[in-house]
Structure 1
């Protein structure tokens, strides 16, 4: 059988959320014989491995079971190994999708054979079950959404009485997209909208950081991309393996597209406290692999306020650096090299739990040195021109730390 798409879902102890995701994938505008779904069960201790025996689906469902924990990127790579579709679509196990989801990805790849498509910037969140592991903030938020809706009161009362996890929606509810009634906007959606999508559009035209949309909560790329450029880096812990792939493809000339419709919904679940530290470690691994300004500029967002930059400001720093280098035939390469080194030093210090400081000295330009004098002369020259305001601002903030 020839599949146009393979949908790959890594899952570890995400039952029943992954089951609801599988229900959502039943109602697609693309015929079910044109796509397959691959669940990679990453040593789950719940009921995930029993889903194929307990339920039937209109599409081909394959479940790959690993007895040892692989981690999410390795689990995705296992799915890639057996996928038969021309286009590989990656979903987190707990993401709900509307009827046009598969079609929206396939349509873009029909238009462009060297594309990465993603819909994470406008991803919503929704409560589909109640879990004892929820944080106090999640419990309060869930209550605010459930209180006006009597149909969920019995589940809420059972949950508050210590009755364990409570599922809020049935298969039919998922088909009807009833989970939208318990949905809300993610905190970063307005930022992404204002800083990226409203400025550069859904095709991210002219944006120097398009790879930032490369999150596997909702991402697709042709299978040939993995054959030509390798699979996911198998980082331990959470995060940045998907963005590393996006950056790698960006360097190979791939284009990027954001999918706004249909919207996708992340099902709320407990979050391990180790996630933030794991992401910080993997971000540092990513930095050390490339050590290029086009990546390191992202560290401007991680400086403490009021020194931090926005996505658009980081884009402008890159844009001005590229234009300055092109127009000056390499005259300002020493100054731009110091910028890159200061950012790399900031990444190193953040990775080791330290506040970025004395960055110019870390970059080989301590006060009073000939290197610092040359750097300051070049910085003064571009500031005097008035043509490179954001680059000048970045240099000023970094050297002041």
Structure 2
């Protein structure tokens, strides 16, 4: 697929130690770019507009990029490639020895966010490292309350907690990867839609290299309404089946897999599964019960794959 490139003036002569790779589709990454550009560092940024189709946003991005001292390249696609293929494409434009995959709806929690990553590279040259994410900068919204509760429970974990299952907590929201590691293990472009392509990548990589977890978090600003969470889980069922087929020994230890195996034996899933979803979407129900129902709904979807 052809791509349109826009480079600012510092791009041509830069010799970065770290390439920050940011894909987006529909989101506006200007606030994130402006935040990153405040840090003086040997860093370049590569942006991938994965088929947004918004000429006004593209023009505003180019105007911002042109005035920033950090070397930045904007890659614009007319048609969406998807999460795995898009990130592989980002790597093809990166020039540094380490890549930092950072989602466009993230906001660094520390003013020394990039400096911390560069210091880690200088100190230990890690194969893979995940910095974690938080909800510290999220403005509370009623329609996102379910996602906030679920993320706070299972995703916003310390480095010590994540290190207990290092391959499980590998997400492209804040992920450092050394060039030679990615050259050997890229993202599987057989994944489609939402979910699991980064975790599956972590499973493959963990067989060959250590995965380090540190506390250098960024806030996940892009929380979703409950209906969007449910739709993403529905999209992810086929991806989960792909992971189960490739890594049964690893996935079998996950609670989501064990729950799916139990629900697989329960008859009439087509009748009771929509009722669980309806309860999870009910804003008047208690939040802890809704969160449990949404996790149960995901397991019921995944029951078709185990």
Say which of 32, 43, 47 aligns to 1:21: 32
Using the size of structure 2 for normalisation, the TM-score is: 0.71
Deviations, residues 181-227 of structure 1 (Å, cap 9, x unaligned)? xxx9653334567xx64xx82682xx2x2112211111111111111
Say which of 51, 55, 60 aligns to 1:43: 51
Uncovered stretches (5+) of structure 1, i.e. residues with no partner: 129-133, 142-183, 308-346, 357-401
Measured in 1, the distance between the counterparts of 2:130 and 2:51 equals 27
Partner of 2:19: 6
- Partner SS for 1:117: strand
Partner of 2:74: 63
Q: Does 1:231 align with 2:186?
A: yes
CA contact (8 A) 1:124 1:266 kept: no
Structure 1 pair 302/296, CA: closer, same or farther in 2 (3 Å)? Answer: closer
Structure 1 pair 218/262, CA: closer, same or farther in 2 (3 Å)? Answer: closer
CA contact (8 A) 2:234 2:301 kept: no
Measured in 1, the distance between the counterparts of 2:75 and 2:206 equals 30
Structure 1 residue 37 displacement after superposition: 0.8
- Partner SS for 2:74: strand
Deviations, residues 102-137 of structure 1 (Å, cap 9, x unaligned)? 122222233333432223354545249xxxxx9x62
Partner of 1:106: 118
What does 1:171-186 align with in structure 2 at a 5 Å threshold? none
Partner of 1:295: 251
How many residues matched? Answer: 251
Measured in 1, the distance between the counterparts of 2:300 and 2:154 equals 26
Which stretch has the larger CA shift, 2-11 or 266-275? Answer: 266-275
Measured in 2, the distance between the counterparts of 1:192 and 1:60 equals 32
- Partner SS for 2:19: strand
Structure 1 residue 298 displacement after superposition: 1.0
- Partner SS for 2:239: helix
Q: Does 1:189 align with 2:201?
A: no
- Partner SS for 1:187: helix
Partner of 1:137: 143
Structure 1 pair 125/247, CA: closer, same or farther in 2 (3 Å)? Answer: farther
Structure 1 pair 246/48, CA: closer, same or farther in 2 (3 Å)? Answer: farther
CA contact (8 A) 2:43 2:70 kept: yes
Measured in 1, the distance between the counterparts of 2:132 and 2:162 equals 14
Deviations, residues 224-245 of structure 1 (Å, cap 9, x unaligned)? 1111x22111211011111111
Partner of 1:245: 201
Measured in 2, the distance between the counterparts of 1:123 and 1:108 equals 23
Using the size of structure 1 for normalisation, the TM-score is: 0.55
CA contact (8 A) 1:41 1:63 kept: yes
Structure 1 pair 258/70, CA: closer, same or farther in 2 (3 Å)? Answer: same
CA contact (8 A) 1:108 1:117 kept: no
What does 1:229-378 align with in structure 2 at a 5 Å threshold? 229-234=184-189, 235-259=191-215, 261=216, 263-268=218-223, 271=228, 274-292=231-249, 294-299=250-255, 303=259, 350-351=301-302, 353=304
- Partner SS for 1:237: coil
Measured in 1, the distance between the counterparts of 2:232 and 2:155 equals 22
Which stretch has the larger CA shift, 114-123 or 217-226? Answer: 114-123
Uncovered stretches (5+) of structure 2, i.e. residues with no partner: 1-13, 264-297
Partner of 1:117: 129
Measured in 2, the distance between the counterparts of 1:137 and 1:11 equals 23
- Partner SS for 1:37: strand
Measured in 2, the distance between the counterparts of 1:60 and 1:11 equals 18
Structure 1 pair 349/223, CA: closer, same or farther in 2 (3 Å)? Answer: same
